[in-house]
Structures are given as C-alpha cells and as structure tokens.
Amino acid sequence: MERWLALELASTIRHDGAGGVADDLATVEGLADWLGEQSGRLPGGLPAGLPIDERLRQEVTGLRRAVRALFARAVSPAPPSAADAGRLMPAAEAVAALNAAAALEPVVPQLSWPPGEPPTAALLPAADAGAEPEPEPGPESAPEREPEPEPDPGSGARAGLLAALARAAIEFLAGPQREQLRSCSAPRCVRYFLRSHGRQAWCKPSCGNRARVARHAERRRTTDPDSR
C-alpha cells in the first residue's frame, strides 16, 4: 500500500488505545523519531543541518493543523475525526498556511530513471537540481544533531522541511486520492485513512469489529422493550 506523507503527518494524532488521544509530535524527541521514520518519503531525505528543536516542532504541528483542517473538508459532509473536530482551523486559513509553507523553498521538477526501474519525477530544491540525486537515506538514519550556534544557520533546512511537507499535502489534496479519504467512524478512533475498496468505513479490521459490537449493543438497547 502506498503511504502518503500528508496522511502520515495527520496520523501522528491517534487513538492511544485507552480511550484517549495520543500525539506522536508532543515532544521534540517524538518529532525526531517521526522525521527519522519519514525521511524516505521526503525527496532527497531530511535536509542536511536540520535543527530538530521546539521551534521546528511548533512549525510542523502548525502545518499538521492545516492538513487536518483540510482533511476534514475533504471528508465532508461526513463528520471529521473527533480528535480536533471542535477546533478546526478555517479552511481558507489552512489553504493559505499550506501555500505559504510551500513557498518557503523554490523547487524544480527532476526526472530520475535508474536502469531496470520505472522513471519517477520529484520536485527538488532548485539549489540541488541538475545533478544526480543522492540515494535516499534509510529510516534508521535519523539525524541527532546538536543545536547549531546563532544566527540560525539551519533556517534553510528548516524551510526545506516545511516546504516539502506542504508540497506533499498539496499533492495529496489536489490528487485523485483525496476522494478516497475517510475519517474512521469506529468508536474512539480518530484516524483519517484511504479507502481501498467500495464501502470501507473503518481504518483497520479491529476498528470494524469495535464498530459492529457497538452497533449490536445499540440495536439491543433500542429494540429491548424493557429499556424503553
């Protein structure tokens, strides 16, 4: 199954397994872990010299707010994920936030066509374009860098990451997969997911089981004459 960076970002808000909501990006350490896992989905991997700090965490989670607001718009008129349904960023504001982040870094389209493999296109930073792209680092190559001295020499890398995340969200939202996006309707689940077949209403089988149990209990409650 294809995994979309925008969907991965939105899914860092998830059911914690105990009836609550967990946020994988609640700490700088959590952000570092997540970025390490996603580096293979970023064209060119994680930007070199990226300072993974509280400021970056706030910028990434701000972008996530915009993405989740637009996911809510995409699944409408079905209800949005319950995790943030009551405090969604207005859609126009979310669109502006994505576009502003995408504009942080100029990019150009680049073709990659290794022997024996199908050709692929990627948008690479204009500064890096024109050369063979380096092989993408694996998920285990999460950088653990010390914060660098002032004045913010990581600003280019920071802009590069935010722009790459925004581009991924724009590509997702403007493409055909948007129509397959659903919010899981199982009790307590807060996930958005891509429907892979006709009437799929749940993100995974265990959510389907939970929803069926809840529906069965509800049916018994409403048809049992003693409970009326």
Shortest CB 210 distance to Zn ion, Å: 8
Shortest CB 189 distance to Zn ion, Å: 3
Shortest CB 153 distance to Zn ion, Å: 42
The whole-angstrom separation of Cα 107 and Cα 129 is: 8
Shortest CB 193 distance to Zn ion, Å: 7
Binding of Zn ion at residue 207 (CB under 5 A)?
A: yes
Shortest CB 68 distance to Zn ion, Å: 15
Q: Which of the ranges 18-26, 42-50, 53-61, 195-203 carries the binding residues for Zn ion, by CB under 5 A?
A: 195-203
Q: Which residues contact 29 (CB under 8 A, 6 or more apart)?
A: none
Q: Footprint of Zn ion on residues 134-193 (CB under 5 A)?
A: 184, 186, 189, 191
Binding of Zn ion at residue 203 (CB under 5 A)?
A: yes
Q: Which residues contact 98 (CB under 8 A, 6 or more apart)?
A: 63, 66, 67, 70, 166, 169, 170, 173
Binding of Zn ion at residue 74 (CB under 5 A)?
A: no
Q: How far is CA 44 from CA 110, 157, 162, 164, in A?
A: 11, 12, 14, 10
Query: What six digits make up the tokens of 228?
Result: 């009326």
The size of the interface with Zn ion (CB under 5 A), counted in residues, is 6
Q: How far is CA 43 from CA 20, 110, 133, in A?
A: 34, 10, 9
Q: How far is CA 195 from CA 20, 172, 180, 185, 198, in A?
A: 24, 14, 5, 12, 8
Q: Which of the ranges 30-38, 46-54, 128-136, 205-213 carries the binding residues for Zn ion, by CB under 5 A?
A: 205-213
Binding of Zn ion at residue 88 (CB under 5 A)?
A: no
Binding of Zn ion at residue 10 (CB under 5 A)?
A: no
Instruction: Note the residues at the interface with Zn ion (CB under 5 A).
Output: 184, 186, 189, 191, 203, 207
